[in-house]
Amino acid sequence: MSENQHSTDVTSADQNTFADPGIPEHQHRRGDVDAAASKRAERQVVVLFAISVIGTIASLVAYFAFRPDGTTSGTRLSTLTLGLGMAFALLGIGLAAVHWAKAIMNDTEVSEERHQLSSPDDVREAAVASLKAGVDDSGIARRGMLKGAALSALALFPLTIAVPLVSSVGGDWNVSKLRHTRWEKGMRLATDPTGRPIKASDVTIGSVFHVIPDVSEKERSSGEWLSEKAKAVVLLIRLDPRDLHEADDRKGWSYDGIVAYSKICTHVGCPVALYEQQTHHLLCPCHQSTFDVADGAKVVFGPAHRPLPQLPITVDDDGYLVAQSDFHEPVGPSYWERLK
Amino acid sequence: MSTTTTERAAAGTADYLDQRTGLGKAVKEFARKTFPDHWSFLLGEIALYSLIVLILSGFFLTMFFVPSMTLVTHDGPPATMDGVLMSEAFSSTLRTSFEVRGGLLMRQIHHWAALLFMASIVTHMMRVFFTGAFRKPRELNWLVGTTLLILGLAAGFTGYSLPDDVLSGNGLRITDGVIKSIPIIGSYLSYFVFGGEFPGEDIIPRLFTLHIFVVPGLILALVGVHLFMLVLHKHTQYPGGGRKDTNVVGFPLFPVYTAKAGGFFFIVFGVIALMGATMAINNVWNYGPFDPSPVSAGAQPDWYMLFLEGSLRLMPGQGTEWVIGGYTLSLNILVPAVIVPGILFTFLFVYPFVEAAVTKDKREHHVLDRPRNVPVRTALGVAFLTAFIILALAGSNDLIATHFSLSINAITWAFRILIFVGPWFAFWVTKRICLGLQRKDRELVLHGHETGRIVRFANGEYIEVHRPLDDQERWLRVNYDAHRPLEVEPATDSRGVRRKGYKQDRRMARLSRFFYEDRVEPVTPAELEAAHSHGAHDEIGAAAGREEIGSGSTH
Ligand code: HEM
Ligand code: FES
């Protein structure tokens, strides 16, 4: 198996290529020639295994000594001590085994022949013959009907699983829900997360409110609420009316410089949360799309394409801000039939 | 005496098993199987061992994690979360962290192991790519490996989302936005994934099933195939004396390799335990439970997802959302989130086949290439990595901006340009470096090492004495193939009839020229002879070598 040939002639017979000098000469380690070094290596391996045992014991001691008390620092201490014990227990074993292999076990390289991966020709022929015999036996080549029937049955049966699955996996499949949010005419704007309705007089110039529809406490702790909230969240900002450029068809959508825009980024839907007072820019932290609140929340930078949808607002008789209607377009990221 | 009793007991057990399983044949076959040794072969092992750590720590976590989105009022530590309304998933993650002994340790071990798993897969792939280990007969194993990379991404993504915190919830929301952008079926696909509107109440249980059953199952099955093929093919080996395509040189599986590999498992596990013990990761109680409204700047996904994040960030939105016949086509999302990763993964999947085609190479390869000896492959690999790294950096552009107090818009623009220029530049530089290293190898072979010893001749001339390379050193530098570009056969055959497939051949030849036009041939014995006969200082030999180098590109 192993052969350490050392040829001295540099070139092979044809003189066009060099000759392979063979496996390099084996270098002996200290431990191979010096009994004391070998003994020392053995002792080192024993010590490493002993460190592992100590690590395990330390971990058990830590288990009893540091009980997590519910505070972050207590939990950290318990994590640290348990983990260090564990790490030593593992590293001791690992280093011992590797040191053993490297310092004590035989390190002479051996060479093994590789065998051709492909099967010999006669084996291939026999394989083809067996398959052919099988195909002939089944008669599949001659009986077209049979083949068709078998394939149809196999192709169809997954439907028995797929149809019930697909019918329910998408909930009610009513994708038109993407067009509507919880906002409706007269619904008050409330603060997120406390749910306190907002008076127009509370909104000073330059201030920003994170807003949800004013729904009952009960609705807000229901399972469906997060899905509704995921569409309905709004940012409320008051600008100096002189800074505000409004499109003609949206003149009546703001109230005294107060504008309300969907907080859901038109890129891929992150909450747009960072407002810069001086520039009136809203920045989406996810991919930095930047919207100009003073100018219809149009995109001024980044990967979003469309302005944030605007929620038309006004005030009710008690001076609370209310929605005039739902949004006039679907909020959030674009999808194929958005405009249909 | 006692040894003979244990020996007898072992022999008895072996006999019992062999009579029932024929185990003897397998042991004879595998016990002394030869494994070559090199540090870079450990990268794949790290991936395997961190997978085992993931399974062990993941099992621990499943004992306490509750995959449910039902809202509950959390009762217990930490104080900031006591009494807060949250999903059971988030609440159980808090309980695992604060009330289960060793629970936080296991969470941190699991998360660090996941990061290490992906990092070792990527570096293992780099080793395989740059050394040409994907060549025949290992192309299929390269495909299995690339699929494992994708499954690893899936495992990491589904796991990261499970605690249902604000950060991972926003990751899911981005996913929802990307899904919705898919033409025609986007909104239906979003309902398919979330069981209705985002976020719904199904996604965490669904991700849980994927994360602990489907994805790990597929990974384990493919790891099985991967290792089976490894044994079938036997390991590749680095070039050197006595290493041939017809043999494998190394250490026997039992005991040396078993001890080293087994020991290495414990070392990897130990290092991950050390990380889990000392380095906090994903402190979800600081983020809070998922809520579609709050978000924090500077939030980062795990590193292996950054390239997608960066890709989304770089795409300009202006003019890239088209409305065609009333239907919306969001190229600003499709291009970065579907096309860009599509290109990256297609490159990985097809590369071995393209290289084999332009090389017209049908031989088996078991001796690895030194990366410099295949300059265009190496350069393509570096260009690919450069693109990946630029995208990942772009995924942190906000952190870069705040850290270096730069404008985020300027940085984004810089990256938009870099993503086109960077890979091209990296290709060019790497190819030059490879060719340079090959030329240096030639010099060395022809003229030997400089010794720094100056000798004066009788005629007054000074020369530096060069020590010739020994057999092993020389063999390493001359034993490679410098492939030549494919020649195209004429467009018409001998009777003047247009040949079918000529166009295809010509395209292939052009691609082949791209790969092998510039090349440095290995030194031949005749050249070495000539260099020696020209005396000890050899300027002439070097010039001859140079001429040889240029000759490749002249036809
Ligand atoms: C195959 C590769 C795997 C990868 C890359 C992976 C990755 C992850 C990641 C990144 C997390 C988030 C951890 C956190 O910070 O909370 C996670 C959570 C989790 N993983 Fe895995 N995982 C893998 C396999 C498994 C397996 C095999 C199991 C179960 C047998 C498992 C069970 C879990 C559980 C229960 C959680 C939620 C724990 C919690 O957050 O409290 N994972 N996984
Ligand atoms: S989600 Fe707002 S920029 Fe991407």
- Which domain CATH number covers B299? 1.20.810.10
Q: Could you tell me if B3 and B128 lie in one domain?
A: no
Predicted confidence band at B332 (pLDDT cuts at 50, 70, 90)? very high
pTM: 0.93
Give residue B4's pLDDT band: very low, low, confident or very high (50, 70, 90): confident
**Atom 10 in ligand 1: residue holding the nearest Cα:** B160
Taking the CA of B314 as reference, the closest ligand is: 2
Split at pLDDT 50, 70, 90, the class of B543 is: very low
Identify whether residues B267 and B138 lie together within a single domain: yes
Question: What average pLDDT score do residues B496-517 get?
Answer: 90
Q: Could you report the per-residue pLDDT of B125-142, keeping only the tens digit for each?
A: 999 999 999 999 999 999
Q: Is residue B386 part of a domain?
A: no
User: Does some domain include residue A66?
Assistant: yes
The distance of Cα A229 from the centroid of its chain, to the nearest Å, equals: 23
Residue B546 has pLDDT above 50, yes or no: no
Q: What pLDDT is stored for residue A2 in this prediction?
A: 38
In a domain, A21, yes or no: no
Of A112, A287, A336, the CB nearest to B184: A336
DSSP annotation of B8: H
Quote the pLDDT of residue B267: 98
Partner residue opposite A286 with nearest CB, options B174, B262, B475: B174
Looking at the structure, do residues A126 and A184 belong to the same domain, yes or no?
no
| Domain match, B24 and B153 both | no
State the Cα–Cα distance between residues B147 and A137, nearest whole angstrom.
38
Q: What is the pLDDT of residue A7?
A: 38
DSSP at B211: I
- Is residue A133 packed enough to be buried (19+ CB in 10 Å), middle (13-18) or exposed (0-12)? exposed
Per-residue model confidence (pLDDT) at position B38:
92
Burial call A173-189: b when 16+ CB within 10 Å, e when fewer: bebebbeebbbeeebbb
- Confidence bin at B343 (pLDDT 50/70/90): very high
Measured distance CA(A259)–CA(A312) in Å, rounded: 8
Whole domain around residue B469: which residue ranges? 435-551
DSSP one-letter code for B536: S
Predicted pLDDT of residue B475: 95
The whole-angstrom separation of Cα B62 and Cα B103 is 11
Choose, out of A227, A261, A287, the residue to mutate when testing the contact with B (most B CBs < 10 Å): A287
pLDDT confidence of residue B464 = 82
What confidence tens digit (pLDDT) does each residue in B208-235 have?
Answer: 999 999 999 999 999 999 999 999 999 9
| HSE-up of residue A323 (Cα within 13 Å, Cβ side) | 27
* B293 and B440 share one domain: no
Out of A68, A111, A336, whose CB is closest to B242?
Answer: A111
DSSP B253: I
Q: Is residue B414 part of a domain?
A: no
- Whether residue A214 is contained in a domain is answered as yes
A89 and A205 in a single domain? The answer is no
Q: Within this chain, do residues A187 and A152 fall inside the same structural domain, yes or no?
A: no
- Give the nearest partner residue to B296 out of A114, A285, A336, using CB atoms: A285
Residue to mutate, B111, B162, B207, B283, ligand 1, most ligand atoms under 8 Å from C-beta: B162
CA of A74 to the centre of ligand 2 (A): 38
Give chain B's radius of gyration (CA, Å): 29
- Nearest ligand to the CA of B167 is 1
Tell me if chain B has a CB within 8 Å of the CB of A197: no
* Measured distance CA(A274)–CA(B401) in Å, rounded: 15
Q: How sure is the predictor about B545, in pLDDT bands with cuts at 50, 70 and 90?
A: very low
- Are residues A163 and A180 both part of a single domain? no
Q: How many domains does chain A have?
A: 2
A78 with A138, same domain: the answer is: yes
A-B CB pairs within 8 A amount to: 361
| A72 and A192 housed in the same domain | no
Closest Cα in chain B, distance from residue A302 (Å): 6
Residues of chain B in contact with residue A297, where contact means CB-CB under 8 angstroms, are none
Same domain, B20 and B153: no
Instruction: Decide if B170 and A286 are in contact by the 8 Å CB cutoff.
Output: yes
Among B306, B322, B357, the domain-final residue is: B306
Q: Choose among B79, B240, B248: nearest Cβ to A114.
A: B248
SS3 state at B35 = strand
Tell me the two tokens of residue B22: 């024929």
Q: Is residue A5 part of a domain?
A: no
**Beta-bridge partner residues of B498:** B492
Does A56 reside within a domain? yes
Question: What does the radius of gyration of chain A's CA atoms come to, in whole angstroms?
Answer: 38
| B4 and B105 housed in the same domain | no
Distance A136 CA to ligand 2 centre (A): 62
Q: Are A286 and A138 members of one domain?
A: no
Do the domain assignments include residue A152? yes
Q: Are residues A184 and A315 in the same domain?
A: yes
| Contact present, A19 and A128 (Cβ < 8 Å) | no
Distances (CA, A) of A167 to A170, A333, B185, B411: 7, 25, 15, 47
Are the C-beta atoms of residues A331 and A181 closer than 8 Å to each other? yes
For residue A193, give the chain B residue with the closest CA.
Answer: B293
Using a CB-CB cut-off of 8 Å, the residues of chain B touching A177 are 196-197
ipTM over 0.90: yes
Q: How far apart are CA B476 and CA B239, in angstroms?
A: 6
Total structural domains in chain B? Answer: 3
CA distances from B320 to A267, A302, B334, B335, B412 (A): 11, 11, 10, 9, 17
User: Looking up tokens 């993503």, which residue turns up?
Assistant: B419
Same domain flag for A181 and A321: yes
Angle at B271 between CA B286 and CA B287, to 5 degrees: 10
- Those residues of chain A that have pLDDT short of 70 are 1-15
Q: What are phi and psi of A274, to 5 degrees?
A: -105, 115
What 3 state SS string does A35-84 have? Answer: HHHHHHHHHHHHHHHHHHHHHHHHHHHHHHHCCCCCCHHHHHHHHHHHHH
| Interface touch B327/A68, C-beta < 8 Å | no
In this structure, are A217 and A312 located in the same domain? yes
Looking at the CA of residue A288, tell me the nearest atom of ligand 2: 3
A6 within a domain of the structure (yes/no): no
Q: Are B470 and B525 in a shared domain? A: yes
pLDDT in tens, B147-166: 999 999 999 999 999 999 99
Note the ligand closest to the C-alpha atom of B301. 1
The answer to whether residue B382 sits within a structural domain is no
How far is residue A107's CA from residue A117's CA, in Å, rounded to a whole number?
Answer: 29
CA of A162 to the centre of ligand 1 (A): 28
Distance linking the first and last C-alpha atoms of chain B: 78
Tell me whether residue B383 is in a domain.
Answer: no
> Does the CB atom of residue A28 touch ligand 2 within 6 A?
no
| pLDDT range class, residue B3, cuts 50, 70, 90 | low
Ligand 2 centre distance from Cα of residue A269 (Å): 6
Is B223 found in the same domain as B161? yes
**pLDDT band with cut points at 50, 70 and 90 for residue B462:** confident
Q: Considering only the beta carbons, identify the residue of A20, A24, A271 that sits closest to B292.
A: A271
Residue B330 in 3-state DSSP?
strand
- Based on the fold, state whether residues B118 and B12 are members of the same structural domain: no
Q: Are residues B224 and B274 in the same domain?
A: yes
A304 Cβ contact list (under 8 Å, min separation 6)? A265, A266, A267, A284, A287, A289, A291, B317, B332
Of all atoms in ligand 1, which is nearest to the CA of residue B163? 40
Task: Clarify whether residues A277 and A242 are in a common domain.
Answer: yes
Q: Would you say residue B190 lies in a domain?
A: no
Are A41 and A157 in the same domain?
yes
Which one of the ligands is nearest to B281 CA?
Answer: 1
CB–CB of B191 and A193 under 8 A?
no
The pLDDT > 90 percentage for chain B reads 80
> Which residues on neighbouring strands pair with residue A261, listed in sequence order?
A235, A310
For residues B392 and B301, is the Cβ–Cβ distance under 8 A?
no
Q: Which residues of B466-486 are buried (b: 16+ CB within 10 A; e: fewer)?
A: bebbebbbbbbbbbbeebbbb
Check whether residue B8 and residue B131 sit in a common domain: no
- CATH number, residue A189: 2.102.10.10
Chain A residues touching residue B415 (CB < 8 angstroms): none
**CB-based contact A336 B259, cutoff 8 Å:** no
CB contact under 8 A, B291 and A288: no
Q: State whether B312 and A303 contact (CB < 8 Å).
A: yes
Q: Quick check: is B351 in a domain?
A: no
| H or E element in which residue B219 lies | helix B215-233
| Inside any domain, residue B270 | yes
Per-residue pLDDT, A34 = 85
B62 lines ligand 1 (CB under 6 A): yes
The pLDDT value recorded for residue A17 is 83
Enclosing domain of residue A136: 28-107+120-168
Q: Is residue B14 part of a domain?
A: yes
Contact A289 CB / ligand 2 (< 6 Å): yes
The C-alpha angle B433, B436, B440, rounded to 5 degrees, equals 135
Give the residue, by CA position, lying nearest to ligand 1 atom 40: B163
pLDDT per residue as tens digits for the range B403-457: 999 999 999 999 999 999 999 999 999 999 999 999 999 999 999 998 888 888 8
Residues B503 and B442 in one domain: yes
Please state which of the ranges B168-182, B299-313, B443-457 shows the lowest mean pLDDT: B443-457
Q: Which residue(s) pair with A298 in the sheet?
A: A292
